[in-house]
Chain A
Amino acid sequence: MNAAGLYVPGRSAAHRLPAGAKLAVLLAAVTVVVAAGHTGLALAAAAAAAALYPLCGFGPRRVGRVLRPLLPFLAAIALFQGLAGEPEAAARVCAQLTAAVLLSGLVTLTTRVAEMLDLFERLARPLRLAGVRPERVALLLALTLRSLPLAASAWRAAREGYTARGLRGRPHLMVVPVVVGLIRSAEALGEALTARDID
């Protein structure tokens, strides 16, 4: 599992497939499902995407975990489309979103961050002409992922300090410590990157 709680080591065909191929299949599948605008196709795609999980070594719980953040949006879409008298549109849009999220979840579950970085670095090579260093694009992606646990850690530290001092009812008091914590983490990380000759 990686920092964002996504990559899970395994030996399935999806794990062995190169990151570029997986992203290409994902792009093609989502484009077809959305462009076709066909409810049956969208429902079939969502079902097929869910069926791929056990084939890659993931149980139904994993499907649930991938879809959980999407559920409020699906509920809102279903509600509004239902109220608008378009239940078929509701089913279609919800199925399209479900298929897209499940497929992209599968890509991240089966792809190491390093592979993704290599891919982005290769894709960003043409940007060299515009003066952009591709390795920096990849590093930016890595640091974005790294910032998730750092932000969570800064938030946890600020909340513990807030609670330990018996403060309550004024959560805005945590903003400054969180921001300061994040700045300090960013400075330390920058220094570590320089020290390790990564730039």
Chain B
Amino acid sequence: MLQLRDVTHAYDGRPVLRGVTLDLAEHRIGVIGANGSGKSTLARTLNGLVVPDSGRVLVDGRDTRRHGREVRRRVGFVFADPAAQIVMPTVAEDVAIGLRGRGLDRAEIGARVDAVLRRHGLADHRDHPAHLLSGGQKQMLALASVLVTEPEVLVCDEPTTLLDLRNRRVIERTLRALPQQVVLLTHHLDALTGFDRVLVMDEGRVAFDGAPEDAIAHYTALMDAGAGAEGGPRT
């Protein structure tokens, strides 16, 4: 269970989260919103990457402010740009590095790495240079690198933004099939089909919270109204 209690956060004095309170227990939760609406910051608070200026974020009762490491072991995080998540030179090594320092012996690490690579179609690329994979393969690697640590929750910050339609479908299908609780931030509204709950973020607040169809309708109306107003693209 993820809980946010009156969470407020600002970057350089610019508020990005304004008193957000939520209980997130559903299996599939979507988060949509315009650029700069606060959804990425909201996601980052869930795994302790961002500690809010005020308020509390609890993961199974553990406060991210005091139990950052424990929280990060429970909540995996996948970013939009898979290239930025690659740490090690080869595919298998990149998956394995997340298991270092967890008290596993080499054989166990090898077995878990092999299993996750097989499950996500990367077994043939085991010894390939990770940075030479295609965009879709890189994102699958990023996902595998997180899933190998067996987190209870997976937070994905626009994981399909940089992908073509085919790779988008592959990643979305993979996310749907996961046993973990998934919080998916996306601009691809069709990815939210079948989700249990969708939040619409606007100017640091939860502007809507409900079923996917209603949330998408609310978001679309919000964006249409915004696009009609004067001014250039928002940050």
Contacts and interface: CB of A to CB of B under 8 A. Distances in A.
B72 A197 contact: yes
Contacts, number: 88
Interface residues of A, number: 28
Interface string A130-171: 000001000000110110010001000000000000000000
B27 interface: no
Contacts of A146: 86-89
Interface residues of B, number: 32
A192 B89 contact: no
A104 interface: no
Interface stretch (A2-10, A29-37, A74-82, A87-95): A2-10
Given A135-B100, A188-B84, A196 B89 contact: no
B79 A195 contact: yes
A27 interface: no
B232 interface: no
Contacts of B69: 197
A3 B93 CA distance: 11
B98 A196 contact: yes
Nearest to A197: B72
Interface in B66-110: 69, 72-73, 76-77, 79, 81, 83-90, 92-93, 96-98, 100-101
Interface of A: 1-5, 7, 9, 112-114, 135, 142-143, 145-146, 149, 153, 185, 188-189, 191-198
Closest 8 CB pairs of A and B: A188-B84, A3-B89, A2-B89, A195-B77, A192-B85, A149-B131, A197-B72, A114-B93
